[in-house]
Amino acid sequence: MVSSRPVVSAIDLFCGVGGLSYGLQEAGIVVVGGIDLDPACEFPFETNIEASFLQMDVAKLTAEHLDKLWIKGAVRLLAGCAPCQPFSPYRRGVDTSKEKQWPLLSEFGRLAKETKPEILTMENVPRIGSTTVFGKFVETLQEAGYQVDWQSCHGPDYGLPQSRRRLVLVASLIGPIKVPRSAISRSSTDTVRAAIGHLPPIEAGEADPNDPLHTARSLSELNLRRIRASTPGGTWEDWPEDLRAPCHRRPSGASFRNVYARMEWDKPSPTITTLFYNFGTGRFGHPEQDRPITLREAAMLQGFPRKYRFVRPKEPIFLARLGRLIGNAVPPPLGKAVGEVVISHVAKQFEA
């Protein structure tokens, strides 16, 4: 006789707009709450996840806060993505160890020790895996009795239409657990075309009247000429000389081929950063329309469904704020893959 499958109850630390939580829910996990210091996360988290949002500094969070949220008698999952800016590859060579975000992963470890949830999962940039703060985090979990596994995961292997790499860690007190090595067979579904090709066309500086998030930043006359001279997958080297910036003419310009560039329809997008709405900060030009990608397109390339709500009705759209929220989000398909591993792991451990 097999016992009924236990409920997995999750709390999402550093929850942002709810990308990780949405993926966990898709896998069948009950998300009961999210914690983040940013008040802009409250509406998207509560609206889409339909769970409690606690605006709070994780460094001030206690075991009592978490114990009030988890479902009594359920298998508890503590999940989260500590802010990754100090460990970003764009900060390579810069001493970030004094930044206030550096010790936040240690706060995650502290809460794990204080509450001892059965399962943990953490997501971050791959570079964090070589840092002392990550090594201490793993050591803390192992000393508390957790079996731990982590690896760098490539987005398209999990159904994400984006070439994004993230370090994923899973840990369990109830048996060996492994990070999902992949979730799907690679197919045409992990392309820019499959993700955003069906959205209505708009011009630079315009917004879709039916979807305020489908709005594109305007372009200067010079950048409009540049994007018209750009080809999907090409570089600024395709431009006439008079369109090239002074930095392109310097020897170091060869290192910046993926700025002022268009995406390609039939490949995954590049990594969606917090500045994706700006044509000049990466390969963020639409494959055929003469504009940067929109907020909605970036969200869908991050794996959010088109229906996902980021702002209240009639709330002003601020590109910088929403760009930060979308670019920093955990892609839901990656969260779903981790959630499926957790569900399978728990079912196996609780088989009669």
Nearest 10 degrees: CA dihedral of 113, 119, 125, 128?
A: 40
CA distances from 234 to 216, 229, 272, 283 (A): 21, 10, 18, 9
Residue 19 near residue 303, CB atoms below 8 Å: yes
Identity of the residue numbered 292: P
Closest CA to 197 of 313, 289, 284, 124: 289
Q: Hey, which residues does 285 pair with through a beta bridge?
A: 262, 292
* Stretch (H or E) spanning 324: helix 319-327
d(CA 70, CA 47): 19
The Cβ-side half-sphere exposure at 177, using a 13 Å CA radius, reads: 29
Alpha helices in 99-241 (DSSP H): 104-115, 132-143, 192-196, 221-228
Which burial class, exposed, middle or buried, applies to 222 when counting CB atoms under 10 A from its CB (0-12, 13-18, 19+)?
exposed
**Phi, then psi, of 73 in degrees rounded to 5:** 85, -5
Say which of 15, 41, 81, 84 is annotated catalytic.
84
**Which residue has tokens 């229906």?**
307
Look up 84 and say whether it is catalytic: yes
Catalytic residues: 84
